[in-house]
């Protein structure tokens, strides 16, 4: 199981280094802190509520778990997954974009930048209290939308075991209906007040569902259904399933990540093979590393802070080209020097040596009052060293005396030669 999670994190690949995103990410922080104080406030509120209250609510839902209909729960999760995937792969920023033709659709790369100023109140209300209430509320709301999962061409084709060749007419008919519903959903956006409210609803729902995924909510491990589609009727490039290399419901949380979260390690809409991720300049580990060393990991545990998820502050891990002394820092998107002195990975003798951090390494230097002794190769207190030096001096004196004695003898023996040196 642990292996599975690791595999997923490996698949869950990202981009913080790529110029534009890195730049915007700094921009976002500025926007967030400078102009929308609201974000800070509500994230603080959320933090307090979640940290203290989540364990209780999870326990409560688990203890009343006998009443949960597991099939209904799974169906609900699949419905929510479908509708949020549709947002992730096909939606644009309804707050700022005026022309839907030219608008960028990039929510497979990041959560909206800048983030929502305020969460959708109703999603917030239910999703904050517990996972079960969140799922029940979201699924109930989705019963009123025009573009439902069960009417999507891909899903119908799977359920009916239709093949393109033998069921062309039926598929085309279903797809026409599907496209009509999509259009309706896009313009009227029932049961929401309009596309803008739906936008806020879906972004908020994605924040929460992604957060529950990062927290490894067990119910989200499997969808028990293929989920590798863009939730946008039949895709004529890929067919009902796109076989994206990053998603396979056999792996824990694979469908949940694919449906609810952007992928910071591999911000591509489609990846046929994992190599597409590794060798994409959008992979944050691409730039500093050579082929074969571009693995990017985004661990679920390291990305489970709700307020940071909203701000796209993803933590990814890359290999650093300098093997030792450097480590990847996803906050800055670069390999940075490890401070061995702070991280306590140095081997300086605490009593007599201080640690001095250097780029890529460190050095041990003698404490104040201690002096490096070349002979014994250690730091000695100046007093000990003076005593030692004195001792050594005496030793040398004796040797000198011995020497002088020898010299004398030498001089006596070779007095003629010696006399010239006098
Ligand atoms: C990102 O910022 C750097 C330094 O400020 C700048 O040179 C670069 O052109 C920027 N990239 C983009 C895509 O804006
Ligand atoms: C848990 O949440 C409830 C309602 O949201 C609140 O009244 C209560 O004080 C919270 N408990 C803790 C320990 O914060
Ligand atoms: C949107 O952009 C496209 C392409 O630039 C243009 O043809 C179209 O007229 C624009 N629509 C509106 C409503 O501005
Ligand atoms: C990333 O790591 C930092 C430092 O440990 C942490 O504060 C932050 O919450 C993490 N980001 C996410 C999305 O959890």
Ligand at minimal distance from the CA of 313 is 4
Task: Report the alpha-carbon distance of residue 363 to residue 353 in Å, rounded.
Answer: 10
* 252, 390: one domain: no
* 99, 198: one domain: yes
Report which of residues 293 and 155 the model is more confident about.
Answer: 155
Ligand at minimal distance from the CA of 25 is 1
- Label residue 291 by pLDDT band (50, 70, 90): confident
Chain segment 168-219, per-residue pLDDT in tens? 999 999 999 999 999 999 888 989 999 999 999 999 999 999 999 999 999 9
* 257, 376: one domain: no
Domain membership of residue 208 (yes or no) is yes
Lowest mean pLDDT among 83-87, 311-315, 415-419: 415-419
* 126, 253: one domain: yes
* 216, 364: one domain: no
Domain membership of residue 48 (yes or no) is no
- Label residue 107 by pLDDT band (50, 70, 90): very high
Chain segment 61-99, per-residue pLDDT in tens? 454 545 679 999 999 999 999 999 999 999 999 999 999
* 202, 107: one domain: yes
Residues of the domain holding 365: 349-399
**pLDDT at residue number 155:** 92
Question: Which of 97, 98, 99 best tests ligand 3's pocket when mutated (most atoms within 8 Å of CB)?
Answer: 99
Domain count, the chain: 2
What is the pTM for the complete model shown?
Answer: 0.66
What is the 3-state composition of the chain as percent helix, strand, coil, each rounded to the nearest 5?
Answer: 50, 10, 40
Task: Report the alpha-carbon distance of residue 139 to residue 82 in Å, rounded.
Answer: 11
Task: For residue 387, give the CATH number of its domain.
Answer: 2.10.25
Task: Report the alpha-carbon distance of residue 111 to residue 383 in Å, rounded.
Answer: 63
Closest approach atom of ligand 1 to CA 22: 1
The per-residue pLDDT of the chain, averaged, comes to: 81
User: What is the crossing angle of helices 195-214 and 131-142, to 10°?
Assistant: 150
* 363, 240: one domain: no
What is the CA(56)–ligand 2 centre distance, in A? 9
**pLDDT at residue number 26:** 31
Q: Which residue, among 13, 4, 45, has the nearest Cα to 244 in the 3D structure?
A: 13
* 201, 85: one domain: yes
What is the CA(99)–ligand 3 centre distance, in A? 6
What is the CA(259)–ligand 3 centre distance, in A? 30
Closest approach atom of ligand 2 to CA 49: 14
Residue 213 beta carbon below 6 angstroms from any ligand 4 atom: no
**pLDDT at residue number 60:** 46
Closest approach atom of ligand 1 to CA 20: 13
* 110, 212: one domain: yes
Task: Report the alpha-carbon distance of residue 338 to residue 329 in Å, rounded.
Answer: 10
Percent of the chain with pLDDT over 70: 78
Ramachandran assignment for 368, one of left (phi > 0), alpha (psi -120 to 50 degrees), beta (any other): beta
Domain membership of residue 98 (yes or no) is yes
Using alpha carbons only, what angle is made at residue 229 by residues 100 and 253, rounded to the nearest 5 degrees? 115
Domain membership of residue 105 (yes or no) is yes
What is the CA(116)–ligand 2 centre distance, in A? 25
Domain membership of residue 108 (yes or no) is yes
Domain membership of residue 410 (yes or no) is no
């Amino acid at each position: 199981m642990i292996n599975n999670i690791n595999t997923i994190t490996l698949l869950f690949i990202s981009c913080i280094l790529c110029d534009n995103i890195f730049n915007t990410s700094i921009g976002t922080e500025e926007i967030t802190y400078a102009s929308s104080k609201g974000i800070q406030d509500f994230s603080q509120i959320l933090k307090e509520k979640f940290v203290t209250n989540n364990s209780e609510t999870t326990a409560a839902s688990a203890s009343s778990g006998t009443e949960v209909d597991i099939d209904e729960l799974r169906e609900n999760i699949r419905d929510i997954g479908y509708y949020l995937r549709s947002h992730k792969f096909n939606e644009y920023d309804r707050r700022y974009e005026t022309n839907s033709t030219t608008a960028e659709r990039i929510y497979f790369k990041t959560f909206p930048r800048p983030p929502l100023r305020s969460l959708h109140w109703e999603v917030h209300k239910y999703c904050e209290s517990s996972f079960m209430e969140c799922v029940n509320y979201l699924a109930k709301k989705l019963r009123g939308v025009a573009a439902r999962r069960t009417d999507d061409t891909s899903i119908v084709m799977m359920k009916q075991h239709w093949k393109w060749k033998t069921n062309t007419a039926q598929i085309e008919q279903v797809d026409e209906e599907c496209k009509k519903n999509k259009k309706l959903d896009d313009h009227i956006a029932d049961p929401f007040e309009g596309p803008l409210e739906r936008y806020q609803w879906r972004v908020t729902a994605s924040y929460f569902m992604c957060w529950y995924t990062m927290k490894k909510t067990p119910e989200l491990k499997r969808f028990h259904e293929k989920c590798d589609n863009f939730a946008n009727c039949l895709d004529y490039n890929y067919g009902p399933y796109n076989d994206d290399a990053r998603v396979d419901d056999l792996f824990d949380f694979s469908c949940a990540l694919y449906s609810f979260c952007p992928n910071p390690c591999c911000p591509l809409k489609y990846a046929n093979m994992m190599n597409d991720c590794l060798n994409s300049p959008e992979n944050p580990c691409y730039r500093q590393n050579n082929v074969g060393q571009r693995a990017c990991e985004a661990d679920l545990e390291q990305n489970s802070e709700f307020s940071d998820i909203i701000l796209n502050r993803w933590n990814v891990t890359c290999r650093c080209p300098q093997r030792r002394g450097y480590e990847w820092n996803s906050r800055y998107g670069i390999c940075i020097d490890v401070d061995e002195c702070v991280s306590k990975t140095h081997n300086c003798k605490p009593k007599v040596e201080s640690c001095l951090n250097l780029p890529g390494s460190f050095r041990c230097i003698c404490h104040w009052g201690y002096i490096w002794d070349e002979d014994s190769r250690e730091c000695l207190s100046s007093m000990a060293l003076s005593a030692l030096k004195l001792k050594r001096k005496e030793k040398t004196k004796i040797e000198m005396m011995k020497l002088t004695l020898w010299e004398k003898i030498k001089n006596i023996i070779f007095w003629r030669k010696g006399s010239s040196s006098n």
